[in-house]
Structure 1
Amino acid sequence: MTTPGNALPPGLLLAYYGDDFTGSTDAMEVMTAAGLSTVLFLRTPDQSMLGRFPDARCIGIAGSSRGRSPQWMEEHLPPAFDTLAALRPPLLQYKVCSTFDSSPATGSIGRAIDLGVRAMPGDWSPMVVGAPRLKRYQMFGNLFAAVDGIGHRLDRHPTMSRHPVTPMDEADLRRHLGRQTGRRIELVDMVQLRDGASVAHVRLPSLRGKDKPVVLVDVLDEETLREAGRLVWEEKGAGVFSASSSGLQYALAAYWRAHGWIPAQPSLPQAGPVPVIAAVSGSCSPVTAGQIAWARAHGFAVERMDLPAVLDAATREAELARLVARAGAAIASGRSPLVFSAEGP
């Protein structure tokens, strides 16, 4: 069903489960900037919670599966997927990080796909990981990321190749994902994608099947981003499950924007000035380290968490109380507190 001048159907357009909190807010930002009302829940919502947002165009759940085992996923993901699928979105997404860091034992994207495809009727599972705005690029199935203007293949990336839990030792996402699932994995590459119509009407039908294969879609630039969005949206059928980064949101928005179905210019509500702001950081990224250094130089009250104390049940509550007290004292004195667990790798 469409309305005059708008090819987007009424109601929910996309629902997603995010494998961590920050990634979930990333997806929320893209949809909100596209002018689409988005709601993010911190746990699987019940009907009363959902009922508060009848006009939402996108609904997400911020999860923690990125650091969990396949056994944890088997217990916790199906109820979340079933709840979201019951809302009848045309697209159900398992939102992953655009650096794809995962392994068969921790944060298995393959296991999440095997669980998620059961919730949707589609006969393929598109995967969009590249996101040019985030300096993430997928070419011929291989993932690249830029740091300080220099592009790196993921298995040679200065940070992700050295991740303490899920180091990326393979940039070819077909091979990397193939370690996590026995599901068939296919690719629509950047050359095929630029020949748009033939991909949709010739290439993709030959890939689909009752086994619901994963179909990786290359994204290099704005052209391929838009074509990826077109391919997913036009070929969603009665509904598909997609394990993708926020590249999926960017791709859909690019396609919808090209047709005039959403505002031409992305925009977010402007936040007004406030006396203080509280921040918490749990990232080991060099980029985050630079942000912490900036905050320290600009008057934030910067306090590092004592990790051994937090990880010890005997001292955890005392350390948390110390951090809260220090942050509260900073706010009372007119300073912005920043509590962090690491400053760089």
Structure 2
Amino acid sequence: MQKILLAFYGDDFTGSTDALEFICRAGAKAILFIEPPTTEQLKKYPDLDAYGVAGKTRSLPPKEMEGILLDAFEKMKVTGAGHVHYKVCSTFDSSPVIGSIGKAIDCGATVFNNKTIPVLGGMPALGRFCVFGNLFAKMGIGSEGKIYRLDRHPSMSKHPVTPADESDLRLHLGKQTDKKIGLIDIIELKKAATDICWEEQVVLLDALNEAHLLKAGEWMELQRKDNILFSVGGSSVEMALGKYWNEKQLLQPVDEWKAPGKVHPLLVISGSCSPVTAAQIAYAKANGFEEVIIDAVKICNDGIVEEAVFKNVNALLQQQKNVIVHTGEKQTDNLSSEKLGTALGTIAKKAAEGSLVKRIVVAGGDTSSYAARAMEIEAVEMIAPIIIGAPLCKAISDNKYMHGIEVNFKGGQVGSENYFEVLLNGES
């Protein structure tokens, strides 16, 4: 059996590529799959140190999550990974009725039967800080935005599906699981990893800086011993374990990546409602990008993209115009992430099949997993970091037109105003 250090299951595609980036930065050979790979599939990649699964549970109710996650965790268990991580958004987007992280914790407890389930709170590299159990988040990722307590965050507190109304992650997750949640705070993290104390099965770890992540990685390895350790958190889990494995020289960090360079034209498909993405779209329009606005309500009601949309997008791309396809300024709550994401992904696939694009940006966490499936992507490999938390990847697909296409998946909070221009030029 292959020696897999880490396997992770992401609750959406944008978050999954985020985790892929940080384990690759640590020096791991890694692949991100759409579905849990079989041992036979993994044999095609004999040098893998880690793999991920880009799920879609962030947009699902708990009952649907349960069936998917129990099956996925069982399949991941038999691949022999030392750590299995349920990767969530660094702002812990979830509720008792949609994308329940508590349900994921319960499923992980059932399959792996760990004495301890770590939940790693912050991700300092992305501007997310967990202090005494409370989460703070910068406005945007890869930007110079201000830092807010999560329940006062201008964007996350107004998320259209899972608005943040509680910054204490113990209370937030306590609404989603019956399990008691303990805390290893920044004071406790000053101790040696062997001396850290806790009582509850589920334990939240603070993270204010990279030193805390290194200590968390060491502590998690101690909890694993000879078993599989199930954990929950953002890409901080990959960074924490990666830093520890670097210190122990199990992996050698990668500090330099070849710049992929400019690819023209660029296609952006966006299902994001974030004000960060809205500012990026406005900037791109002011700098020469063309926009095609789709009727999200009509698509979600009928499940159909009008033929005129395909023709308009492809005509602009044929003219070598950079194109952003999005839902416009009118935001409507309770739209189907599946229908909208599928529509956007179909638009992107049609463009690729017309040999009109070589690089595609997918914006929006809730819709990204459905868009990737509509694009017929089987897996992705990381090419270069570009923007922290949203690496540029290469698609692996049975569709010859999609195979080898460069893809970038970005969450709504990721990037500064010139994000799409940066992706066009292929330089960070």
TM-score bin, normalised by smaller chain: 0.7 to 0.9
Q: Paired residue for 1:322, among 281, 294, 308?
A: 308
Return the alpha-carbon distance in structure 2 between the equivalents of residues 175 and 120 of structure 1: 24
Cα 1:307/1:141, change in 2 over 3 Å? same
1:275-314 to structure 2, matched below 5 A, reads 275-313=264-302
SS in 1 for 2:304: helix
C-alpha deviation, 1:323, in angstroms: 3.1
Say if 2:100 is the partner of 1:108.
yes
Confirm whether residue 127 of structure 1 aligns to residue 122 of structure 2: no
CA distance in structure 2 between the aligned counterparts of 1:69 and 1:250, rounded to whole angstroms: 29
Q: Is the 8 Å Cα contact of residues 91 and 240 (structure 1) preserved in structure 2?
A: yes
The 3 A distance-change label for structure 1 pair 140 and 344 is farther
2: CA distance, partners of 1:278 / 1:289: 16
Identical-residue share of aligned pairs (%) = 41
TM-score, structure 2 normalization: 0.71
* TM-score, length basis structure 1: 0.88
C-alpha offsets along residues 259-314 of structure 1, whole Å, 9 cap, x if unaligned?
A: 4443355344531322222221221122212221232223222212210121122x
How far is the alpha carbon of 1:121 from its aligned partner? 4.4
Structure 1 residue matching 2:224: 3-state secondary structure: coil
Deviation by residue 1:219-275 (Cα, 9 ceiling, x = unmatched): 001211211122112322211111111111121222233344433553445313222
Tell me the CA shift for residue 337 of structure 1.
Answer: 2.0
* Aligned partners of 2:121 and 2:133 also within 8 Å: no
Residue number in structure 1 paired with 2:47: 55
Secondary structure of the equivalent of 1:59? strand
Do residues 336 (structure 1) and 322 (structure 2) align?
Answer: yes
Contact 2:62 2:100 in 1 (8 A): yes
Contact 2:39 2:79 in 1 (8 A): no
Aligned residues: 326
Aligned pair 1:194/2:190, yes or no? yes
Contact 1:301 1:337 in 2 (8 A): yes
1:203 corresponds in structure 2 to 196
Q: Which stretch of structure 1 is more off in the superposition, 127-136 or 333-342? A: 333-342
User: CA separation in 2, counterparts of 1:344 and 1:144?
Assistant: 28
Matches within 5 A, 1:229-268: 229-237=217-225, 238-264=227-253, 266-268=255-257
Tell me, in whole angstroms, the C-alpha distance in 2 between the residues paired with 1:343 and 1:12: 45
Match of 1:221 in 2: 209
* Cα gap change, 1:298 to 1:51, in 2 (>3 Å): farther
* Structure 2, gaps ≥5 residues long: 332-428
SS of residue matched to 1:312 = helix
Residue aligning to 2:173:
177
Measured in 1, the distance between the counterparts of 2:310 and 2:42 equals 32
For residues 81 and 271 of structure 2, what CA distance do their matches in structure 1 show? 32
Q: Contact conserved, 2:292 with 2:325, CA < 8 A, in 1?
A: yes
Q: 1:62/1:110 Cα in 2 relative to 1: closer, same or farther (>3 Å)?
A: same
Alpha-carbon distance in structure 1 between the residues aligned to 2:74 and 2:12? 19
* Residue of structure 2 in register with 1:27 after alignment: 19
Q: Check the 8 A contact 2:24/2:254 in 1, yes or no.
A: no
Match of 1:7 in 2: none
SS in structure 2 of the partner of residue 280 of structure 1 = strand
